[in-house]
Structure 1
Amino acid sequence: MTALTVCLAQLDFTVGAIHENTSKILATIREQSAEHDIIVFPELAITGYPPEDLLLRDDMQQAVDNAVEQISAAASETVVIVGHPHAIGEQRFNSLSVLHRGECLHRYHKQRLPNYGVFDEQRYFIPGHESVVFEWRGQRIGLLICEDLWHPDPLAKLAQEHIDWVLSINASPYQMDKHEQRLGVLRQRVAESGKPIVYLNNCGGQDELIFDGHSLVLNGQGELVAELGHCEPSHATLTIEGDIISASAMAHHASESSLAEVYDALVLSVRDYVNKNGFKGVVLGLSGGIDSALTLAIATDALGADRVRAVMMPFRYTSQMSRDDAAEQANTLGVHYDVVPIEPMFNAFMQQLQPLFGDAGVDTTEENLQSRCRGVLLMALSNKLHSLVLTTGNKSEMAVGYATLYGDMCGGFAPLKDVPKLLVFELAKLRNQRSACIPPRVIERPPSAELAPDQVDEDSLPPYGDLDRILALYVEQDWSALEIINAGFAEEDVKRVLRLVDLNEYKRRQAAVGPKVTPRNFGKDRRYPITSHYRYEIERQNASEK
C-alpha cells in the first residue's frame, strides 16, 4: 500500500463570496500541490456556511458550478476534495466532489440533514442515500459530511465496503465543550467501525455562529493523532498508510482550557463580523463596569487598538471610581478614548418632555432616557466614523430584559449576547491572566447600571449565581417552573425570572446579533413567539390543582 500525503485546509470562508472563496481554494492548490496527493476543504467551502436562502437563487448555483469547474481544472497534480451545494434539476444536495485533472471522480451527497438548534438544512437540501468510497493509490477512503458522523448508520454502511479510513468534511459550529463532544462522538464511531477518522472543520465567524476549526485525526484505536488549532485558520499535513497516520508538527496542537476557548471564539467572532461586513472599526460605551470592560478587551484583541474607540458618557450618578477605571483600561489598551457627559442632553430632553409628563413622578423613564442619550451619541459616532457600535449587554441581562431598547441595546453586534454574567467575570479574570488590562476593582465590585443613586443590579434581580442557574434550566433545558422550584430555588425568584424572560422576547427580537457559545442562544436556537400565554395557562392550571 502506497502512503498518501493529505493536506487539511482548515480555512475561513465567507458566506456568499463565491469568487473570493474560490480564489482562496485555488491559491491553496497552487501552494500545496507539489507536496500532497490530496487536498481537502471543509463542508460548503465554496459558498461558506450557512448560505441560507442564497441557496434558493439560481444565479448562485450557476456561480458555484463555474467554481467547481475552475477548481477541477486546477487540480492537475493533486486530488482536491471540496464541499459545495449541487443541484440536479429541482433537487439540491449538500455535497462534496472529488476533483482531478478537469474531472469529477466522485460526488457524495450528505445523508443526514440536521434540522434542530441552529440548523435548518431540510429547508434547502434533500438527503443522499448512497455511500461513496474513493480509491486512490491503493487506499480506500470512505467519504462523509458532518452530521453523517453523529449517526452510526452512514459509517456502518461504509465499513462494509472494506475502507481503510474515513474522511469527513464539516461545518460544525462552536459552543462550550463542543470539542469534547466531537471527540466523544468520533471515538464512538471508531469503536464501532475500527476505522481511522480524519475530521476537517470550518474555521471562522458567521453572524451568530462561530466555526472553531479544531479539526481532529484519530487512528483505528481511537487515539488522538492530531488536532488543529482552535479558532486558527491553518494547513496541516497527514501521511496515511492504512491505519498508520502521522502528522506534521503544525498539525499537533495542545488544547487550551475551555474558558480560554470561549474567549478566543468571541475574539474570532468580532474580528470576522467587523471585517467581513466592511467596517473601519468599532465604537462602544465604556462605563467602568465589567461588561463593557470585557467587550473592550475582546474588541482590541480582535482588531487592534487603532480600530477601537471607547466613549465614557458620565451622568450625575456615575461614580468617580467608574470614571477612573474606564480611563485606566482605555489607557492600558491604547484605544482612542473620549469623555462626553450626557447631562446637557438629558436636561434638554426633560425640558421638552416636562409639559407632557406633568406631575408624574420619577420612575424608570428617566433611567431609560439616560441610556437612550448614550445610544444617540454612539450611533452618531458610528455614522460619522463608519464604525460598528458594539453593544455590551450579557445573556443574563438580555434574558430578563435588563436592557434599554434604543439605549444600551443600540448597536450592530453584541459580543456578550450569549455569555451569562458569571461567565463574564470568569472571562475577565482569564483576560487579565494573559496581560492585565481590566482594573481589578471592576471585577471585584458589585455590578451596577448606575442609573440611580447607590443602585446595584441585585436590587431588582436575584443574585447572579441563582439567576444564571435558573436561566440555564429554563432557557437551555426547557425545565418548567415547578421543576426549577423543586430543584431548590425560591418560588418567588423562579416565577419572577420566568415571567421576565417571557415578557422580554420582544426586546430580544430587536437586539443586535451576537455569537453563540452556550448550548442554546437567543437567536436561531430558541424561536419563541412574542405573544404567548403558554406559561400563564400552566400557572393557572397548577394553581387550580393546589
Structure 2
Amino acid sequence: MKIALAQLDPTVGDFAGNATRILEMAEKARQRDADLVVFSELCLCGYLPQDLLERPSFRERNLRELACLAQKVPLPAIVGYVGRPSESTGKSATNAAAVIVDGRVVFEQQKMLLPTYDVFDESRYFQPARTQNVFSFGGQQLGITICEDIWNDKNFWVNRLYERDPVSELVGQGTTLLVNLSASPYVIDKRNLRLEMLRSLAHTHRRPILYVNQVGGNDSLLFDGGSLAVLPDGRVAAQALVFEQDLVMFDTDAGMGDIHPQPSDELEVAYLALVCGTRDYVRKCGYRRVVVGLSGGIDSATVAAIAAAAVGPENVLGVSMPGPYSSEGSRTDAAQLAKNLGIDLLVMPITDIFATYRATLSSAFVGKTEDVTEENLQARIRGNILMALSNKHGALVLSTGNKSEMAVGYCTLYGDMAGGLAVIS
C-alpha cells in the first residue's frame, strides 16, 4: 500500500482555505498513485484554536466543512478535525481523526491523552477518548493515534504523565501499522528527541510508525513539520522537509519512501524556524510588507535578513534614523546592509526632532542632569517614526531587540519594543 504523508500549514479558523489546501494536497497524492493520504492533527481548523472551541458556530462549521470535504477528496484520507462527544460529559468537543472513504466518514478515532502543560491546555476543551479500535484498510490494521497519544512510552520515558498507553493498547488489538496525526510545536533539539522516541516505539512494538506533523506558525506557536515514516529497525523510510508544506510517499510493501533534504545542523534549523515564523505571522495577520529599523548593529541586521528571506526583499522597508550620537559607521553599515539584502532604505535623521523634544521638556527638567531619559527619548522618537510608516503604508513593524536584552530589561518601552512581532526575542 502506498501512503502519502501530507504536511500542511493551516490557518486557525480558515475552514475554507484549509479545506482547499487539503484537497490540493490530496490531488497531488492521487497523482502519485497513493492508496491513502494522511493529514495532521486538527488540520481542518488549524491547531490550536483555543477558546474558538467554545463557540458552537465554530464547531458546527467544522463539521459541515468535514462533510463537504468528504464528498470532494479524491482518495481515502485521514483528516484531523474537531469531533463531537458521543455522550454528554460537560465538554463540547473532541480532538479527532476521521477516516474518509468513498465520500463519507467511515471511522473516527478520538485523542486519548490530552496535554495540560507548557503551551497546552487541551483538557479544558476536549473530552478524551475512553476506547480505541483498529481500522482495517489496504491489508493493514491501522492503529490511529493523535499527537500526545504516542508520548507516553514506558520504555522511553522515565517519568510518565499518564496511566494509559494508547500505542500498547492498539498493538494489543492487532495493529500492524501505527499512524500518528500530530501538531507538535518546535523547540530547539526537539526534532532529535522526537526521532529517538519514534524509533523506540517502532522497535518496542515491532511495527512501522507514520508520523504526520503540522507545519508553520499560528500566533505564538511554530510547528516544524518533518513528518516521518520509521521502521522497526530504526531506519527512517520517509521524511518531509522542515518548515515547508510537503508531501512524501511511503510504500508499506517495500518499506521505502521519499527522503527529502534536511538541515545540516541546529543553527540552520533555528534560522529556518525564524524565517517560517515571521513569514506566517505576517501573512496570517493580513500583511504583505514589513518595516525594520536599521541601526547598523547585528540585531537589526539579523532581523532584516530574516525578513527578506521570509517575505521577499521587495517587501521589506529598512529605515535608518541617525541621531546626534550615531557614528558614521552605523550609518554606512545600515546602507550597505540594505544594498546587500536588496531592500529599500529610507534615511530619516532624528537630530532636529530630538532637539525639539529637549527644548519642549527643558522647563520641566530644570535642575536635572542628563540620564537615561534623554537616551530613551531617541528610542521613542524612532519607534514613533516606525509606527507612522506602518500606519501609512499598511506594513507590519518588526522590532529588533534580542532575547537577552528583553530578559534583563535593557530596552525602552514605547521605543525599541514598538512593533507587531519581536522576531529574535
TM range (shorter): over 0.9
Alpha-carbon distance in structure 2 between the residues aligned to 1:38 and 1:328: 51
Provide the rounded CA distance (Å) in 2 between the counterparts of 1:132 and 1:18.
Answer: 28
Is the CA contact 1:170–1:199 (under 8 Å) kept in the aligned structure 2? Answer: yes
- Structure 2 residue matching 1:297: 3-state secondary structure: helix
Instruction: Give runs of aligned pairs for residues 154-173 of structure 1, distance below 5 A.
Output: 154-173=166-185
- Cα shift readout 1:273-315 (whole Å, capped 9, x = no counterpart): 1111111300011001110000000000111111000011111
1:254–1:280 CA distance, 2 compared to 1 (3 A): closer
1:26 aligns with 2:23: yes
Distance 1:195 1:263 in 2: 34
Aligned-partner residue type, residue 374 of structure 1: R
For the residues of structure 2 that align with 1:280 and 1:109, how far apart are their CA atoms?
38
Q: Distance in 2 between matches of 1:395 and 1:255?
A: 24
1:271 and 2:272 are equivalent in the alignment: no
8 Å CA contact 1:226–1:253 kept in 2: the answer is no
Indicate which of 358, 362, 372 corresponds to 2:370.
362
Whether the aligned pair in 2 keeps the contact of 1:106 and 1:132 (CA below 8 Å) is: no
1:101 equivalent in structure 2: 102
1:368-517 matches, within 5 Å, as: 368-417=376-425
Aligned with 2:417: secondary structure?
Answer: coil
Q: Distance in 1 between matches of 2:309 and 2:75?
A: 38
Match of 2:62 in 1: 64
Aligned position for 2:213: 201
Aligned residue in 2 for 1:186: 198
2:270 is the alignment partner of 1:262:
yes
Q: Is the 8 A contact 2:2 2:35 kept in 1?
A: yes
Please state whether the residue corresponding to 1:24 is helix, strand or coil: helix
| Stretches of 4+ aligned residues off by more than 4 angstroms | none
Q: Structure 2 residue aligned with 1:54, among 28, 52, 72?
A: 52
SS at match of 1:317: coil
Give the partner amino acid of 1:6: I
Task: Report the Cα distance in structure 1 between the residues aligned to 2:353 and 2:121, rounded to whole angstroms.
Answer: 46
Letter of the structure 1 residue corresponding to residue 215 of structure 2: C
Cα distance between partner residues in 2 of 1:236 and 1:104: 24
* Deviation, structure 1 residue 245: 1.7
How far apart in 2 are the matches of 1:44 and 1:228?
Answer: 19
Residue identity in the other structure for 2:261: H
User: Residue type of the partner of 2:129?
Assistant: G
- Using the TM superposition, give the Cα deviation of residue 101 of structure 1 relative to its aligned residue in structure 2, in angstroms: 1.8
Q: For the residues of structure 2 that align with 1:28 and 1:254, how far apart are their CA atoms? A: 21
Give the equivalent residue in structure 1 for 2:224.
212
Q: Say which SS state the counterpart of residue 315 (structure 1) adopts.
A: coil
Measured against aligned partners, the alpha-carbon deviations of 1:483-519 in whole angstroms (never above 9, x if no partner) come to xxxxxxxxxxxxxxxxxxxxxxxxxxxxxxxxxxxxx
Which amino acid is 1:224 matched to?
Answer: V
- In the alignment, what sits opposite 1:430? none
Is the Cα contact below 8 Å between 1:218 and 1:226 reproduced in 2?
yes
User: 1:252 pairs with 225, 235, 260, which one?
Assistant: 260
Are positions 1:133 and 2:130 aligned together? no
Name the % identity.
41
Match of residue 12 from structure 2: 15
Cα RMSD of the aligned pairs, angstroms, is 1.3
Structure 1 unaligned blocks of 5 or more: 418-546
Distance in structure 2 (CA, Å) of the matches to 1:387 and 1:314: 22
Per the TM alignment, residue 191 of structure 1 is displaced from its structure 2 partner at its CA by: 2.7
Q: Secondary structure at the match of 1:130?
A: coil
Instruction: Confirm or deny: 8 A CA contact 1:313 1:342 kept in the other structure.
Output: yes
Question: Offset at 1:67?
Answer: 1.0
2:39 is matched with 41
Q: Are the counterparts in 1 of residues 134 and 174 from structure 2 also a CA contact under 8 Å?
A: no
Displacement of 1:408: 0.4
Specify the SS of the correspondent of 1:390. strand
Compare the two structures and name the one with the higher helix fraction: 1
Of 252, 261, 265, the match for 1:240: 252
Q: How does 1:307-322 map to 2 (within 5 A)?
A: 307-322=315-330
Residue 10 of structure 1 aligns with an amino acid whose one-letter code is Q
User: Which whole-Å CA distance do the structure 1 matches of 2:242 and 2:404 have between them?
Assistant: 26
Cα distance between partner residues in 2 of 1:254 and 1:272: 21
Once residues 72 and 255 of structure 2 are traced to their aligned partners in structure 1, the CA distance between those partners, rounded to angstroms, is 27
Q: Deviations over 1:95-152 (max 9, x none)?
A: 1010112322211111111111111112211211212211112211110111111112
Q: CA deviation at 1:354?
A: 1.3
- One-letter amino acid of the structure 2 residue matched with residue 67 of structure 1: E
CA distance in 1, matches of 2:276, 2:25: 22
Letter matched to residue 57 of structure 1: R
Q: Determine whether 1:83 maps to 2:72.
A: no
1:218-229 pair list within 5 angstroms: 218-229=230-241
Post-superposition Cα deviations, 1:367-423, rounded to whole Å, max 9, x if no partner, equal: 111100000000000000000000001110110111101000000001101xxxxxx
Secondary structure at the counterpart of residue 39 of structure 1: strand
Matched to 2:382, the amino acid is R
Once residues 196 and 29 of structure 1 are traced to their aligned partners in structure 2, the CA distance between those partners, rounded to angstroms, is: 22
Q: Would you say 1:284 and 2:292 are equivalent positions?
A: yes
Output the TM-score relative to the length of structure 2.
0.94
CA deviation after TM superposition for structure 1 residue 29, in Å: 2.7
Structure 2 distance, partners of 1:333, 1:138, is 53
Match of 1:522 in 2: none
Name the residue aligned to 2:156.
none
Whether 1:121 aligns to 2:122 is yes
What 5-or-longer segments of structure 2 have no aligned partner? 154-164
Q: Which letter maps to 1:177?
A: D
Counterpart of 1:130, as a letter, is T
Partners of 1:395 and 1:126 in 2: CA distance: 37
CA distance in 2: counterparts of 1:331 and 1:174, whole angstroms = 33
Secondary structure of residue in 1 paired with 2:127: coil
**Aligned 8 A contact 1:71 1:99 in 2:** no
- The Cα shift of 1:217 comes to 1.1
Alignment match of 1:348 (pick from 356, 359, 363): 356
Give TM-score, length-normalised by structure 1. 0.73
Q: Does 1:336 align with 2:333?
A: no
Matched residue pairs, number? 409
Counterpart Cα distance in 1 of 2:92 and 2:384: 48
User: Could you tell me how far 1:362 is from its partner in structure 2?
Assistant: 0.9
Please list the CA deviations of residues 244-295 of structure 1 after superposition, one character each: whole Å capped at 9, or x if unmatched. Answer: 52103xx433342110000011001111111111113000110011100000
